Structure 1
Amino acid sequence: MLQEVTTDFAGRPLKLEVGRLAYQSDAAVVATYGDTVVLAAVNVTDKPTDMPFMPLRVDFEEKMYSVGRIPGGFFKREGRPSEEAILTCRKIDRPIRPLIPPGMRNDMQIIVLPLSVEADSSVDVISMIAASAGMHISSIPFDGPFGAVRVAQMDGELVLNPAFESLADADMDLLVAGTREGIVQIEMSGNAVGEQVIREGMKLGYEACACVIEAIEQLREKAGKPKGDFPLWEPRAEVVEFINSELKDRIIEALAMADKSERDGTLAGLQGEAVEALTEQGHESLGSDVHEVFEDIIKARLQDLAFEQGLRVDGRRLDEMRAVSCEVGLLPRVHGS
């Protein structure tokens, strides 16, 4: 059954549809913005893998027919992904990955297929929105949805979702993705602009995401699946207890070492010590558990240093750079410009 939601997005209608294509996928959303049409299909396996990380794959399948062209020459089909296609995959992946429970070990795949692309709307933004909607209505646990928008500074003015071809003349090209709770991704390129311009662009972009989030929520009410009861991996309780009680203080002391090689070597030695001690207690296959607990302690410590003391791990202030040295004339035959 076809279900759709339409909202005004930066002065143009954005339509999200479910039930038109890819019926056998766990979730499939067609997003239409002007003449740009994108299909995002989301799937997940029934059983978890034994991989020690979250197995999420994002594919952006670039097709020449979407812009009204056919590959010429001997090869009549697309070859390997272009640099732009790879970067679009990353733009889709980055805001999605932290919104999935970190213990998820079921294989997940998001395939984004641009069906029609016009010059007046950036396909990467619409692809991110379609993928967000697909994840939100799927059975995969997802702490979303998020919206995405492009903010450009052109002739001194901030513009939402400008025509793709006009971005070459923009002083700032800012991509913002955000949930109801806050911004989850920013990406920016362009000329040197003031911090106030960037802040205003982020604020404008985040506010523009609200209507997209609301539309995706409405789509879930109409066509969303119940979230699946997937088993979430987490380190064993006895491993967490042992490391927190026996090694946590030493981990924090190691993080205070200014020399990176010494710091990394000490932390590696502590991980080996933890594995050895726990193995003697009768535990097996400890690598992933120990690594995860160490990562949690290290991340928490780095956050405390940054937010409470304004310091990096090696003692530098957040606005302090390492000593930089430059030298010329080192190589006799090379040419630089």
Structure 2
Amino acid sequence: MSTLKAFYCLASASISTSDIPWNGPIAAVRIGSIDGKFIMNPTREQLQKSDLNLVVSVNPKGHLVMIDASANRLSDEKFFSALEYSIECCLPIIDQIKSLSTKTKRINVELQKFDNALIERISAMSYDRLLNIFTDFTLDKIARDTAITAVRQDVINEIASKEEALPNNLPDTFSYVVKKIFRNLIFDKSHRMDGRLFDQLRPITCKINLYEPLHGSALFQRGQTQVLCTVAFDALDSQYRNNDFVLRTGHKRKPFILHYEFPPYATNEIGRAYGRADRRELGHGALAEKGVEPIIPNELPFMVRLTSEVLESNGSSSMASVCAASLALMEAGIQIHEPVAGVAIGLVSKCADDGSVTDYRILTDILGIEDYMGDTDFKVAGTRNSITALQADIKNMEGLPLDIVQDALRAARDARCKIIDIMNSTISEPRKTKKHNTPELETLTIPSHKRGRFLGIGGLNLKKILTQTGVTIVPIDETNYSIFAPNKDAMNEAKQIINKLLEEMKEPELEFGGIYTGKIVEIRANGVLLQLYPTMPPVLLPNSQLDRRKVDHPSALGLNVGDDLQVKYFGRDPASGTMRLSRKILLNTGGVGPIKNMIATEKDEKRPGIWDVRPSKAPKSSDNKE
């Protein structure tokens, strides 16, 4: 599990030993927590027992450059202590990397700079229009983006009409002006695009049980971000197999999965709606899954699959998926530990020339444009008093001081509590009563001697039951089977088929030590097949139990198909479940020795019958000469 941190540190050391100028070096560590104690770079076994999986990257100033974490409902205070501990672990590594650096850094590297004259010219042409756009609370995401695009195009057209060649960085300069106006409004007028206060949430609506055929469903809408989440149950045999899950937990199968979908129409675009998931979907889905996983019960009788489909997006769709998933799980009747919610916290800052932060504003529940124009995006998921997942996207800063992170965590906790209160007004606890389509799970015990007939050749009977009823039957051990049915009606139909199979296999109960008469239905090289009862399958009477004398083939005794034989019943073999019958125990040979033309071969010596009582070997011919 140390590969990731090694890559960070090796990359940092490689750049530090070169002449490339940068603001490093940086170092990364993984922090775990077992029994309240933090562990630096835990082993795989330790990580499986840990309540925390925190990966951080730190710069020489002790500022956080990257944060990615999942936790088993760890308190905010404990999580902040883990961040402090991670910085203490990283600083010695940074000092060691610094000691490797011997080359002088380049000083003639020219960074991109904007022309001040061009900035003033664009500002004069667009300031009033952009200010009106940013202060118009009635504009939604699409209308605002369309208006900014129109201003941008007008500025480019006007400059193009007056100059023969456009400046190379004209689009970037316009974006710089837009961002500057946007950020100044936040600092100078405490103004947000939609008129909210810095710590105010967007309007939230929650709906559950949208589609009756589904096991669970919920719709969570926060402003213009809308997520539909559905729950589907399946048999345990369908559990997802994932190597990362095995490394983190030690379990080979994953009983819970969250599938995140972000189709193009969520952002008013066209394209292939469903196909191979891109990097964004994989990342957001993994974060939402980590946020929900700690509230799922450890022992589930079936697999749970959540499908989160983003219908509309204007910021923080992954955290909206966490909220929708919590609602859908409770609506489906899953006894979750407690509700969980997610929120995105933004940061807009002012920095000095040396990179230190001189002023900053923390924004709760950011819009898409606030994420793009801001410096940091904290995605925090958790319950009222604990954190389950966190991811910090740090963009336009050299690093985050720890006090700013602490303020962001406080803002996230306050927002989560407000969101959970709104969610509880829709559904506050898991459903108590089952839906008519709730899966049924039962255990069936089949005696070992009936197992072959129950399963059929190659499991044919189980495949027929699955095809006809949709019921999945999987073995638990040698005699017990788990029956998973999509609903009660399917379970009843499967039971009828199973009962019919068992009735067809119903056999008379034989008494141990009882003597029974059977008819020979087939003669084989290793014995005869006896039919004891019409409802009972033929039973093999091996050669070793036909006669007290050694018999190599039943024909040596003059036995034919249709003959009646009396046998004694000695129960069933505990391993194979086959009947143990004996005819020789009822015979009296009257002192007659073995049949001479039925001498046991070397092959028979190696493969005795289940009841074979072999006489001592006949004396050699040389011994009889006397």
TM-score, length-scaled by structure 1: 0.58
Q: Which residue of 2 aligns with 1:324?
A: none
Q: How does 1:159-174 map to 2 (within 5 A)?
A: 159-174=363-378
1:149 pairs with 2:343: yes
User: Could you tell me which amino acid in structure 1 is paired with residue 237 of structure 2?
Assistant: T
CA distance in structure 2 between the aligned counterparts of 1:103 and 1:11, rounded to whole angstroms: 35
Deviations 1:59-113 (A, max 9, x none): 1122112222222xxxx55431111111111121102212112232511100011
Contact 2:330 2:430 in 1 (8 A): no
Relative contact order: is structure 1 or structure 2 higher (C-alpha 8 Å, sep ≥ 6)?
1
**Using a 3 Å threshold, how does the CA distance of structure 1 residues 77 and 178 change in structure 2: closer, same or farther?**
closer
Deviations 1:176-223 (A, max 9, x none): 112123122211121301101101101110111002112222222599
Q: Which residue of 2 aligns with 1:183?
A: 387
CA distance in structure 2 between the aligned counterparts of 1:31 and 1:146, rounded to whole angstroms: 13
TM-score, length-scaled by structure 2: 0.32
Contact 2:203 2:223 in 1 (8 A): yes
1:24 pairs with 2:213: yes
CA distance in structure 1 between the aligned counterparts of 2:264 and 2:432, rounded to whole angstroms: 33
User: Could you tell me which amino acid in structure 2 is paired with residue 187 of structure 1?
Assistant: Q
1:13 to 184, 191, 203: 203
Q: Which residue of 1 aligns with 2:82?
A: none
CA distance in structure 1 between the aligned counterparts of 2:385 and 2:305, rounded to whole angstroms: 25
Contact 1:53 1:105 in 2 (8 A): no
1:115 pairs with 2:311: yes
1:206 pairs with 2:413: yes
Q: Which has the larger radius of gyration?
A: 2
1:35 pairs with 2:231: no
User: Could you tell me which amino acid in structure 1 is paired with residue 405 of structure 2?
Assistant: I
Contact 1:28 1:40 in 2 (8 A): yes
Q: Which residue of 2 aligns with 1:274?
A: none
Q: Which residue of 2 aligns with 1:133?
A: 327
Q: How does 1:43-122 map to 2 (within 5 A)?
A: 43-45=232-234, 47-49=235-237, 52-71=252-271, 77-104=273-300, 106-118=302-314, 121-122=315-316
**Using a 3 Å threshold, how does the CA distance of structure 1 residues 50 and 189 change in structure 2: closer, same or farther?**
closer
After superposition, the CA RMSD in angstroms is 2.9
User: Could you tell me which amino acid in structure 1 is paired with residue 216 of structure 2?
Assistant: A
Contact 2:346 2:377 in 1 (8 A): yes
**Using a 3 Å threshold, how does the CA distance of structure 1 residues 50 and 122 change in structure 2: closer, same or farther?**
closer
CA distance in structure 2 between the aligned counterparts of 1:229 and 1:32, rounded to whole angstroms: 29
Deviations 1:252-278 (A, max 9, x none): xxxxxxxxxxxxxxxxxxxxxxxxxxx
**Using a 3 Å threshold, how does the CA distance of structure 1 residues 147 and 221 change in structure 2: closer, same or farther?**
closer
Secondary structure class of the residue paired with 1:53: coil
CA distance in structure 2 between the aligned counterparts of 1:154 and 1:230, rounded to whole angstroms: 52
1:158 pairs with 2:362: yes
**What are structure 2's unaligned runs of at least 5 residues?**
1-196, 240-251, 350-359, 442-476, 479-626
Contact 1:91 1:128 in 2 (8 A): no
**Using a 3 Å threshold, how does the CA distance of structure 1 residues 130 and 98 change in structure 2: closer, same or farther?**
same
Shift of 1:158: 0.4
Contact 2:291 2:389 in 1 (8 A): yes
Contact 1:171 1:193 in 2 (8 A): no
**Using a 3 Å threshold, how does the CA distance of structure 1 residues 42 and 210 change in structure 2: closer, same or farther?**
same
Secondary structure class of the residue paired with 1:12: coil
**Using a 3 Å threshold, how does the CA distance of structure 1 residues 32 and 226 change in structure 2: closer, same or farther?**
same
User: Could you tell me which amino acid in structure 1 is paired with residue 222 of structure 2?
Assistant: Y
**Using a 3 Å threshold, how does the CA distance of structure 1 residues 88 and 230 change in structure 2: closer, same or farther?**
farther
2:426 to 219, 223, 244: 219
Secondary structure class of the residue paired with 1:81: coil
Contact 1:54 1:103 in 2 (8 A): no
Contact 2:319 2:380 in 1 (8 A): no
Contact 1:67 1:116 in 2 (8 A): yes
Secondary structure class of the residue paired with 1:152: strand
Q: Between Structure 1 and Structure 2, how many residues are aligned?
A: 218
Contact 1:177 1:206 in 2 (8 A): no
Shift >6 Å, 4+ stretches: 227-231
Deviations 1:279-309 (A, max 9, x none): xxxxx99xxxxxxxxxxxxxxxxxxxxxxxx
CA distance in structure 1 between the aligned counterparts of 2:327 and 2:278, rounded to whole angstroms: 25
CA distance in structure 1 between the aligned counterparts of 2:430 and 2:333, rounded to whole angstroms: 11
Shift of 1:44: 1.7
**Using a 3 Å threshold, how does the CA distance of structure 1 residues 30 and 185 change in structure 2: closer, same or farther?**
same
Shift of 1:49: 3.4
User: Could you tell me which amino acid in structure 2 is paired with residue 131 of structure 1?
Assistant: A
Contact 2:233 2:439 in 1 (8 A): no
Secondary structure class of the residue paired with 2:336: coil
CA distance in structure 2 between the aligned counterparts of 1:136 and 1:43, rounded to whole angstroms: 13
Contact 2:260 2:284 in 1 (8 A): yes
Contact 1:30 1:38 in 2 (8 A): yes
**What are structure 1's unaligned runs of at least 5 residues?**
1-7, 232-283, 286-337
User: Which segment drifts farther, 153-162 or 8-17?
Assistant: 8-17
Q: Which residue of 2 aligns with 1:236?
A: none
Shift of 1:230: 9.5
**Using a 3 Å threshold, how does the CA distance of structure 1 residues 31 and 14 change in structure 2: closer, same or farther?**
same
User: Which segment drifts farther, 196-205 or 23-32?
Assistant: 23-32
Contact 2:236 2:255 in 1 (8 A): no
Secondary structure class of the residue paired with 1:49: helix
Deviations 1:214-257 (A, max 9, x none): 222222259945489999xxxxxxxxxxxxxxxxxxxxxxxxxx
CA distance in structure 1 between the aligned counterparts of 2:238 and 2:215, rounded to whole angstroms: 22
**Using a 3 Å threshold, how does the CA distance of structure 1 residues 145 and 226 change in structure 2: closer, same or farther?**
farther
User: Could you tell me which amino acid in structure 2 is paired with residue 122 of structure 1?
Assistant: S
CA distance in structure 1 between the aligned counterparts of 2:219 and 2:312, rounded to whole angstroms: 11
